Amino acid sequence: MDDVAIRTWQLTKSYRRHPALRGLDLEVPAGGVFGYLGPNGAGKSTTIRLLAGLLRPTAGRAEVFGFDTVADRERVQRRIGYLPGDFVAYPDLTGAQYLRYLSSLRGGVGWTTVQQLAKRFDLDLELRIGTLSHGNRQKVGILQAFMHEPELLILDEPTSGLDPLMQREFLTLVREVRESGRTVFLSSHIMSEVDTVADTVGILRAGQLVVTRSVEELKARTVRRVDLAFARAVHARPAPSAAGCRWSRSGSPAPPGSRPRCRWPIPRHPGSG
């Protein structure tokens, strides 16, 4: 297996005159989990569609395991499992019919693997997809991405619609993929979801990559705020002299006899809870 799963060079995508992604230079090592973070509209889904060969870049280029996502699109798509952020399946098919159809397109998938995944996610494959809740439709999407055990999983907001128990099961599955030596590219706008499984995180803002760091580095740089509320009235003067202490009301002096609140920023360190 290649040492690098994904490489991009000045990858750019514009819709008419609106730039959705600008000059993305990215390298994702193989065999780990890469968290791709950013607010809605930052360009995460555009990046993912470019990597999956579903869009042509306006400029620049991207490779997946050394294959160009435009010139070698079919080779790229044979090596990935893809879950879009707006997953849609044929509503008149049952989950089993839909997954068997995709399996035939991919040259066959062990049905035992599909059944094991369905059991893990408590999904009834005999129900028509059109009758399923949003969360259960998302489970079908997860199964179709994972069932053929691809070298690279490209997942766009994969826990959307899942309840907390299923979110935990999904993250466990991602860890298992990493332990097997395969690669996961995981897009989200929730840091707490990503930092539990990711090795490296890239943060995207307004179509530009602003930082790429290991999760340990990001945790070390994170600042926490601690609020202290006194149980009874105290003399207000000593508190503002403490470094970083601020009154909860616009930083104004606390009135006599009030119960002041103080806030101190506390740096997090690697391994801290």
Give the model confidence (pLDDT) of 197-220 as tens digits.
999 999 999 999 999 998 888 767
* pLDDT value of residue 224: 59
Average pLDDT over residues 214-243: 64
pLDDT score of 272 more than 50: no
16-31 residue pLDDT tens: 889 999 999 999 999 9
Q: How confident is the model at residue 270 (pLDDT cuts 50, 70, 90)?
A: very low
Cβ neighbours for 199, distance < 8 A, ≥ 6 positions apart: 29, 32, 33, 34, 178, 214, 215
Rounded-to-integer distance, Cα 45 and Cα 33, Å: 17
Q: Which of 166-175, 190-199, 248-257 has the lowest mean pLDDT?
A: 248-257
Average pLDDT over residues 163-178: 96
Cβ neighbours for 110, distance < 8 A, ≥ 6 positions apart: none
pLDDT score of 55 more than 70: yes
* pLDDT value of residue 43: 95
Q: How confident is the model at residue 255 (pLDDT cuts 50, 70, 90)?
A: low
The pLDDT mean for the chain works out to 87
Closest CA to 121 of 80, 166, 154: 166
113-155 residue pLDDT tens: 999 999 999 999 999 999 999 999 999 999 999 999 999 999 9
Closest CA to 157 of 215, 83, 208: 83
* pLDDT value of residue 181: 96
Closest CA to 65 of 148, 24, 149, 7: 7
pTM (2 decimals)?
Answer: 0.80
Rounded-to-integer distance, Cα 129 and Cα 117, Å: 17
* pLDDT value of residue 129: 98
Average pLDDT over residues 156-184: 96
Q: How confident is the model at residue 271 (pLDDT cuts 50, 70, 90)?
A: very low
- Residues 140 and 161: beta-carbon distance below 8 Å: no
* pLDDT value of residue 108: 83
Average pLDDT over residues 44-58: 97
* pLDDT value of residue 217: 83
Rounded-to-integer distance, Cα 145 and Cα 148, Å: 7
* pLDDT value of residue 260: 52
pLDDT score of 253 more than 80: no
